[in-house]
Amino acid sequence: MIVVRLPEGKRSHPEDLLKIYIKGAGGHMVSLAELGQVLNTVQDKTIYHKNLRPVVYVTGETAGASPAVAVLAMQKHIRDNPLPEGFSIDWRGEGEWKITLDVFRDLGMAFGVALALIYVLLVAQTGSLLVPVIIMIAIPLTVIGIMPGFSLLNLIMNRPIGLYPTPVFFTATGMIGMIALAGIVVRNSIILIDFIHLIMDRGGTSLKEAIIEAGAIRTRPIMLTAGAAMFGSWVITLDPIFSGLAWSFIFGIFASTMFSLLVIPVFYYLVYRNKKIPLS
C-alpha cells in the first residue's frame, strides 16, 4: 500500500492532490487529475443493534487513569447531567470496564476457593477447627501492605509523560500475586504456632512464656525467609506486565511478616489462655 501525503501546510485543499504526478507505464509522468477526481460526499454511518435495540458505542482514551476511575467519573457526570428520556447507558456491555469486572470477579472467586482449600489442609494437619483460623489471620494482613504500598509507589514513581500521569495500577497480575501470597504468608503463622506447641510439649512452661520464647527464637528465621522472598521478587518489578504481581509480593510479605509476629501470638494467647491447647 502506498500513501501519498502532502506537507501539512499544503493540505487545505483536496484539489491539490490532483496536481501530483506519478510515473505511469513506459516511464511517462501522469497527473492524478487524469486518473480520477475529487468528490465531496457524505459517508453512510453504520447502524448498530444489540439485543434488538439500537445502540451507539462511545469510546474514549483513558491515558493516565484506570478504567474504573474513568467510569466512576462518567457516572458522576451523568448523575449531574441526566440523559434525555428514552436513552440509557450500559457500562458493563463492552470494553475495558467489562473486562475489569469479569477479571476481578473470577479472581475473587479463585481467592475464595484458595482460602477454603488452605483451611481444609490446615484442619487436616492440626486436627483443630480453630487453630487454622488463627493461622489464616496472616492472610488479610497482606492487604494492609499491598494497598498502601501501591499508593506509596504512585507517590514515588508516578512521573507524567506530557499531559498524562503514569500511575502504577493494582491490576489483575497484582491480584494474582495477592492470591499466591495466601499460601505463602501462612507459613509464618505455622512456624510460630508449631514452635509454641513444641515448647508446651516439654512441660513446665506456661502459655505466655511459650509464646514469648517462640517469638524470640523464630523471629530471625522468619525475617530471613521473608527477606529472601522479597528480594527474589525484585527482578520481576522490571517487567511491564508482571510488575504488579511482584509489588504485591513485596508489600504483602513485608506487612504480613511484621504484623504476624505480633498479631498471631496475641490472638493465640487470647483464644487459648483459658482453654486446652490442641497439641499435635
- Three-state secondary structure call for residue 133: helix
Question: From CA 41, how far away is CA 39, in angstroms rounded?
Answer: 6
Do 139 and 223 lie in a common domain? yes
Residue 258, domain CATH: 1.20.1640.10
Grid coordinates representing 130? 480453630
Do 109 and 214 lie in a common domain? yes
Instruction: Domain count for the chain, please give it.
Output: 2
- pTM for the model stands at 0.68
Do 36 and 109 lie in a common domain? no
Distance, CA of 130 to chain centre: 31
| Bridge partners of residue 23, in order along the sequence | 29
Distance, CA of 201 to chain centre: 44
User: What integer pLDDT is reported at residue 116 of this predicted model?
Assistant: 93
User: What integer pLDDT is reported at residue 94 of this predicted model?
Assistant: 64
> CA 102, 106, 110 angle in degrees (round to 5)?
170
- Domain containing 182 equals 102-272
Residue 92 resides in a domain: no
Positions of the chain with pLDDT lower than 70, given as ranges: 12, 92-95, 277-280
| Bridge partners of residue 54, in order along the sequence | 49
Do 114 and 245 lie in a common domain? yes
Residue 81 resides in a domain: no
